[in-house]
Amino acid sequence: MTYNELSQEQRRATLTQLRGDYISFQSRGLKLDMSRGKPCKEQLDLSMDMLDAALLADVKDSTGFDSRNYGVPDGIPECRALFGELLGVPAENVLIFGNSSLNIMYDLIGQYWTHGTGGGAKPWSQQRSVKFLCPVPGYDRHFGILEHFGIEMLQVHMTAEGPDVKVLAELVADPAVKGMFCVPKYSNPTGVTFSDENVRAIAALSPAANDFRVIWDNAYCVHDLREGGESLLNIFAEAEKHGHEDYFIEVISTSKISFAGAGISVLAASKANIAAVKSRLAVQTIGHDKVNQLRHARYFRDAAGVYAHMQRHRALLEPKFDAVLECLERELGGLGIAQWTNPAGGYFISLDVPKNCAKRVGQLCREAGVVLTPPGATYPLGIDPNDSNIRIAPTLPPIDELETAAELLCLCAKIAALEKLEG
Ligand code: PMP
């Protein structure tokens, strides 16, 4: 029976019993964290050989340049080639940055804000209105950058194929719409990989703004959780068919491949966009950490090396996702109060509880010692108009803790749903 079908008496009895279970959870003094998509210790341990001094017995890059010294702001050639291979773009269309792709994204928006996208376009700060497309639910830190610059965020619903392209096509007719942040593979938090048709439609968009830029944040490009994984079309190959390659900037990092706090990040773009970013970089830095670039290039060698390494991550993460999914199915399946994703990759499970219940679930969890990503965070300005989406991040906690946290989460979802039915 779904909760909707229960009689008032049955509902009250169920709620009383669940509240009893909740009190026993509270008495356990739990302190569990399912809030952020951080790799666990065992995942970080997978890359420890990268710190082996033998890997740097020779500190010169493939051109004979001493990686310890100043210079080479584009990144060392072997690293550009490795990530070019991984992303399916020529090495000259790739730049290597520091440890955070979020930093690349912030700097891109900052560059467009103060200096424009190049080719004579006015800085965004000097334009009357600047708006960005935001597929929702989405990644809170993308929204954070846009909020920081005072850029208006237009929400676009995520379908099972990617952002609703009909809505995108309508919205880009407004010249104030300057771009979009999106996560095309194993999206944060929905796990959706944009379908071929969806990527083709995005590549074909005809924005009214000629300084339109999509930040193609491919953070989870190699992060399969299931055998075979899902595949994503190459955005540049599709965009070139329409002469739209300047509209797209792709970013990735090794934050969830090697070390979340000490990896490297990568930007891939058209010739014109690379030139524009390089002219800024010439002022911004004398070069990023090339010793770390050398470590990464030598440790992984090529794209196949990265894929082989990601299988080891998968072996650690798949059981964690399964544990949460089994709990959701066992506890919430058939009650008619929740829907959740079963992602083939990435770092999250997205859970939808009844309208106006997500914050209550977050509060109940917190008061029993489990921290979730704050409900609302998956929407611009932290406001989920339905107050129903909850992002579950299963990677960090050990599996026994994760099972406990997932059980509590389900219990809180049931209590919140029944409280709502009780009015
Ligand atoms: N993009 C997405 C979609 C993410 O989920 C994350 C991490 N949660 C990042 C970027 C952050 O990447 P980095 O560590 O390279 O800054």
Query: Using 50, 70 and 90 to split pLDDT, how confident is the model at 423?
Result: confident
Same domain, 350 and 236: no
Same domain, 128 and 87: yes
Same domain, 222 and 152: yes
Asked, for residue 380, whether it belongs to a domain, the answer is yes
Given ligand 1 and candidates 188, 254, 257, which is best to mutate, with the most ligand atoms within 8 Å of its CB?
A: 188
For residues 132 and 128, what is the distance between their CA atoms, to the nearest angstrom?
A: 14
Distance between Cα 171 and ligand 1 center (Å):
26
Question: Which atom of ligand 1 is closest in space to residue 183's alpha carbon?
Answer: 3
Q: Is the preceding omega at residue 123 within 30 degrees of 0, hence cis?
A: no
Q: How far is CA 138 from the centre of its chain?
A: 8
**What's the confidence (pLDDT) of residue 21?**
97
Distance between Cα 190 and ligand 1 center (Å):
15
- The answer to whether the beta carbons of residues 337 and 373 sit under 8 Å apart is no
| CATH classification at residue 29 | 3.90.1150.10
Residue 14 has pLDDT above 90, yes or no: yes
The total of structural domains in the chain comes to 2
CA gyration radius for the chain? 23
Given ligand 1 and candidates 134, 255, 347, which is best to mutate, with the most ligand atoms within 8 Å of its CB?
A: 255
Residue whose Cα lies nearest atom 11 of ligand 1: it is 102
For residues 62 and 231, what is the distance between their CA atoms, to the nearest angstrom?
A: 32
Residue whose Cα lies nearest atom 1 of ligand 1: it is 219
Same domain, 351 and 371: yes
Residue tagged 């089994």 (tokens): 326
**What's the confidence (pLDDT) of residue 36?**
86
DSSP track, 378-404: TSGGG--TTS-EEEE--SSS-HHHHHH
Query: Which of 256, 281, 301 delimits the end of a domain?
Result: 301
Asked, for residue 49, whether it belongs to a domain, the answer is no
Mean residue pLDDT across the chain: 97
The closest of 422, 419, 408, 421 to 362, measured between CA atoms, is 408
Distance between Cα 218 and ligand 1 center (Å):
9
Residue 27 has pLDDT above 90, yes or no: yes
The closest of 96, 57, 64, 66 to 79, measured between CA atoms, is 96
Same domain, 65 and 36: no
For residues 339 and 166, what is the distance between their CA atoms, to the nearest angstrom?
A: 25
Asked, for residue 51, whether it belongs to a domain, the answer is no
For residues 172 and 212, what is the distance between their CA atoms, to the nearest angstrom?
A: 9
**What's the confidence (pLDDT) of residue 301?**
97
Asked, for residue 183, whether it belongs to a domain, the answer is yes
Residue whose Cα lies nearest atom 7 of ligand 1: it is 37
**What's the confidence (pLDDT) of residue 119?**
86
Distance between Cα 393 and ligand 1 center (Å):
13
In Å, what is the CA distance from 237 to each residue of 184, 216, 244?
15, 14, 10
| CATH classification at residue 244 | 3.40.640.10
Distance between Cα 396 and ligand 1 center (Å):
15
**What's the confidence (pLDDT) of residue 111?**
98
Section 29-56 average pLDDT: 94
- Residue 250 is classified by DSSP as E
Distance between Cα 220 and ligand 1 center (Å):
9
For residues 138 and 127, what is the distance between their CA atoms, to the nearest angstrom?
A: 26
Of the chain, the percentage scoring pLDDT greater than 70 comes to: 100
Range of the domain at 372: 3-44+310-422
Same domain, 217 and 330: no
**Could you read off the pLDDT of 316-342 as tens digits, one per residue?**
999 999 999 999 999 999 999 999 999
Question: Which atom of ligand 1 is closest in space to residue 101's alpha carbon?
Answer: 15
**Could you read off the pLDDT of 238-296 as tens digits, one per residue?**
999 999 999 999 999 999 999 999 999 999 999 999 999 999 999 999 999 999 999 99
Ligand 1 lining (C-beta closer than 6 Å): 37, 100-102, 139, 183, 188, 217, 219, 253, 255, 265
Query: Which of 301, 323, 355 delimits the end of a domain?
Result: 301
Same domain, 215 and 98: yes
Query: Using 50, 70 and 90 to split pLDDT, how confident is the model at 76?
Result: very high
Same domain, 323 and 380: yes
- The answer to whether the beta carbons of residues 112 and 213 sit under 8 Å apart is yes
User: E-assigned strands of 263-338?
Assistant: 265-269
Same domain, 260 and 388: no
Asked, for residue 54, whether it belongs to a domain, the answer is no
Asked, for residue 56, whether it belongs to a domain, the answer is no
Query: Which of 301, 318, 350 delimits the end of a domain?
Result: 301
Vertex 150: Cα angle to 253 and 178 (nearest 5): 65
Same domain, 198 and 342: no
Asked, for residue 14, whether it belongs to a domain, the answer is yes
For residues 69 and 289, what is the distance between their CA atoms, to the nearest angstrom?
A: 9
Query: Using 50, 70 and 90 to split pLDDT, how confident is the model at 126?
Result: very high
Distance between Cα 255 and ligand 1 center (Å):
7
Same domain, 318 and 279: no
Same domain, 169 and 288: yes
What pTM value is reported for the model? 0.97
Asked, for residue 81, whether it belongs to a domain, the answer is yes
- The answer to whether the beta carbons of residues 163 and 133 sit under 8 Å apart is yes
Question: Which atom of ligand 1 is closest in space to residue 254's alpha carbon?
Answer: 15
For residues 248 and 244, what is the distance between their CA atoms, to the nearest angstrom?
A: 8
